[in-house]
Amino acid sequence: MIFTSSGAGYHSESKAKEYKHVCKRACQRAVHRLRAGGMALEAVTAALIELEDSPFTNAGTGSNLNLSGEIECDASIMDGKSLNYGAVGALSGIKNPVLVARRLLSETQKGKLSAGRIPPCFLVGKGAEQWAISHGIPACPTEKMTTKFSLSGYKRNKRKMELAEQVETKRKRQSCEHENNSACLDTVGAVVVDREGNVAAAVSSGGLAMKHPGRVGQAAHYGCGCWAENARNISLYSTAVSTSGIKNTGVILVWHYCSPFLAGEDCVLGGVIVLRCCTCGEAQRSEDIQALLVEFLWSHTTESMCVGYMSAQDSKARTRISRLPPGAVAGQSLAIEGGVCRLGTVSD
């Protein structure tokens, strides 16, 4: 099963069809891999590539531009079976940052490098770009990843910053920052469980509009952007999480709405998709059939969040734009929904 999000933020009604379509395409691409026998890690990578390639998301193509008018992306991926992780931060010149994160994860699984060196699992900036190219991932200049929407947003934000600097008041500057960030979309993500019960999670983000060059957001950090862990002796459940969001002073990926780390924030805007699964009790008595009970939920404090989900047994993906109820205030209210499904798979 695949569960995707094109980001928490604001999704206009005029572009609702496009937002839903990208989640649908991401689900279909991942399920195609699952039906072909692919593992969770392959499927979640396929989903993220589709999300990054869409000009309607803030990841890969169409990402926010930084203060210098360049695209710098963050991405991370985690394998629930091995608990291995790969990530990139402030990466320019690569169309699909998740591919670099995925390759970093794969390289760490091969063991030590020559002379006993430890392979990297997290690279940033120019070093990440050079490593990606040296490992066969093609370069892509910023101008080919910039869209009319991201460029117009950059010009609009630049004018607002210039105005704020002329006013030279702290209150005005904070108001401008909140206006810039509350209307945009943030980190895209996906969580997957495969036919063997393995889970994986991934995220990708263009980061804040007008961020300082070199800034690495939480999407790239271990345990912040995503998490995936197969069932262990201490837990019967496999869990995968992907997070998204912003606050009025920067990107933040919300694990828990009431976190003490956010106690001092007046306006916390974030979203999360969660997948949890376990083997059904009656299936444990069968030698040939495994049945997975999958619980999934999405939650957000932003005005809206677009999600999609699909199992290998479904004929089509289900997508929707979840919105806060009428009268609710973004950053001060919480929407939460979810569902349960049972997946039957033949054991090897």
CB 319 within 8 A of CB 303: no
The b-or-e profile of 28-66 (16+ CB within 10 A means b, else e) is bbbbebbeeebbbbbbbbbbbbbbbbbbbbbbbbbbbbb
Residue found under tokens 């066969």: 136
Residue in 45, 187, 301, 302 annotated catalytic: 187
Residue 11 near residue 182, CB atoms below 8 Å: no
Sequence-distant (≥ 6) Cβ neighbours of residue 36 within 8 angstroms: none
Write down the residue that tokens 């910053």 correspond to: 161
> Which stretches of the chain are DSSP H helices?
16-35, 40-53, 97-108, 125-134, 142-145, 148-167, 170-182
Residues 306, 11 contacting (CB under 8 angstroms): yes
Annotation marks residue 146 as catalytic: no
b/e for 331-345, b at 16 or more Cβ within 10 A? beeebeeeeeeebeb
User: Per this entry, what is the length of the chain?
Assistant: 348
The DSSP annotation for 156-179 comes to: HHHHHHHHHHHHT-HHHHHHHHHH
Q: What one-character-per-residue DSSP string does 268-292 give? A: EEEEEEEEEEEE-GGGGG-SSEEEE
Q: 210-232 burial string, b = 16+ CB within 10 Å, else e? A: bbeeebbbbbbbeebbbbbbbbe
Residue holding tokens 């629930």?
Answer: 80
Catalytic residue annotation:
187
